[in-house]
Every structure is written in C-alpha cells, then in structure tokens.
Amino acid sequence: MDVLIVGAGEMGRWFGDAIATESSVAFTDVDAAAAEVAAEAVDGRAVSLETDERFEAVCLAVPMTAVEAAIEAHAHKSRTATLDVSGVMEPALEAMAAHAPDRERVSLHPLFAPERAPGSIAVVRDEPGPVSANILETLRERGNEMIETTATEHDEAMESVQAAAHTAVLSFALAAETVPEGFETPIYEGLRELAEQVTDGTPRVYADIQGAFDGADDVAAAAARIAEADPAEFESLYRDARDRWHAGDRE
C-alpha cells in the first residue's frame, strides 16, 4: 500500500514510522527539507506539495487550524482512503465528507506525545473500508489501543482532557513559585512535574488546542470562585468537587 503523509512534523513522522513496515510512505510538507528528513527516516520518499500523483491513502498530519484547508488541497490525491491525525475530529470529518465523499474516511487522535508511543488512539470510522482497516490494524499491532468513538464525543471530551487540563496546569506554572528543597508537598510535587511536562512541548500546539476546544473559561471561572469564596462557600465548593470525583466511592 502506498500512503502520502501531508505534514512532516512530530505526528506525521510518528504515523510514518508506525505504518512503514506495511506500507510505502511518501511525505510532503510546506518545508521540503523536513519532508526529505522524514522520508529518509522510514526509507520513504518526499514529493512536492503540488504533485498530481495519487496514493492508496492520504493522511493529513497538520495542525488543527490547517486541517480543513489541507483536506481540501490534498484529499483528491487519495485513490481509496483519507485519514487525519490532527486531533480535532468534527471539522476534519466534515471536510473529508465534502472533498472526499467517495473515499474511506477515518479520523485518528493519538492521545499521547509521539515520544511516548505506543498508547491509546481515539478512532472515528466515518466511512470504513479495507484500506483504512489495514492501517488501523497495523497501528494496533504496534502496541496501540484503538478507542472507538464518535466525532462529537471526542471533541466534547477534549474540552476537559486537553483545554481545561492544560489551562489548569499552565495557570499553576504561571502563578506558583519554586520553593526551597524539602518544602514540597505531594500535591505541589505532582503539579510541578505536570508543569515541567507541559512546558516542555511546542507552544503552538497548545495554542491550537485552546483555539479548537472550549474549557479554559470554565477553569478560570472556577479559580475565581475559589479565590473569592469565604470559608463556608469554600467548603461547599470543596464538597462539590469531592462529589464529582468520588461519586463511585459511595456506590
């Protein structure tokens, strides 16, 4: 199977490496040199963004903000299947339906940074078929767990899993101070480790997530309520949080 990967960033390179044992991989990117490097790493090849060549499958591995335009520009290069690993599903699948209506259509979201692979991958099989099924099976054989979902369920979950979680951690990173050695509590230490992990990433990726998904405003509003609460209201908010996260303990 020959696969074109549009986007030679971290996620595109992860996808290419994950399927290279079963597929012939080509890369294209606005940065031609990056496409060459990515292709060399998997014994593949680089092609021009303007190529008129067609492939069994095309995978869009571009930022969330660019996925709709990328699908419009490149979906026609697929003979059979169009996929994406952008991380936002409803806009991607709507664009695939518009520009690749007669192709297999699958949206994937690896729920991990490429260097932490393998892991869980959210999957929506909008228009399944044998080519995309073969790619998914290859990813599963590489040790990944495929989480079947819907575009709506996924995108709503990302409001908490990504937008709210990142906002909370980055807010701590901006507000808290480092403390003398030995003063750390388990909670502080855990948040410090999360802050170090999040701030070791790519700022644009986190900015794209905040632009794509709601969630940050809810965190800001909750923090404001906590900051302004008197002792009685604080206890009430604490109990609300406990009830939300420990409901199963009482069942």
Sheet containing 24-28: order of strands? 45-46, 24-28, 2-6, 55-60, 78-84, 104-110, 120-127, 145-148
Kind of pairing, strands 104-110 and 120-127? antiparallel
13/130 same-domain check: yes
113, 187: one domain = no
For residue 251, the model assigns a pLDDT of 52
Render pLDDT for 220-239 as a digit per residue (tens, 0 to 9).
Answer: 999 999 999 999 999 999 99
**168 and 231 fall within a common domain:** yes
Residues of the chain with pLDDT under 50: none
The reply to whether 91 and 132 lie within a common domain is yes
| pLDDT value of position 30 | 96
Same domain, yes or no, for 158 and 104?
A: no
Q: Residues 133, 213: one domain?
A: no
Same domain for 159 and 127: no
Q: pLDDT at position 157, please?
A: 97
Contact 101, 77 (CB under 8 A): no
Q: How many domains does the chain have?
A: 2
| pLDDT the model gives residue 80 | 98
Q: Give the residues across from 107 on adjacent strands.
A: 84, 124
User: Nearest 5°: CA angle at 229, between 227 and 234?
Assistant: 105
- 15 and 106 together in one domain: yes
Among 149, 168, 192, identify where a domain stops. 149
Do 10 and 29 reside in the same domain of the chain?
yes
Phi, psi torsion values for 178, nearest 5 degrees: -70, 150
Indicate whether 133 and 172 sit together in one domain: no
Task: Specify the pLDDT at position 249.
Answer: 63
For the entire predicted model, the pTM comes to 0.90
Query: Is residue 89 packed enough to be buried (19+ CB in 10 Å), middle (13-18) or exposed (0-12)?
Result: buried
Domain range enclosing 199: 153-250
Q: Are residues 222 and 163 in the same domain?
A: yes
Among 119, 134, 149, which residue terminates a domain? 149
pLDDT of residue 248: 64
State pLDDT tens for residues 85-94: 999 999 999 9
How far apart CA 153 and CA 169 sit, in angstroms, is 23
- Please give the pLDDT value at position 194: 96
Q: What is the pLDDT of residue 247?
A: 77
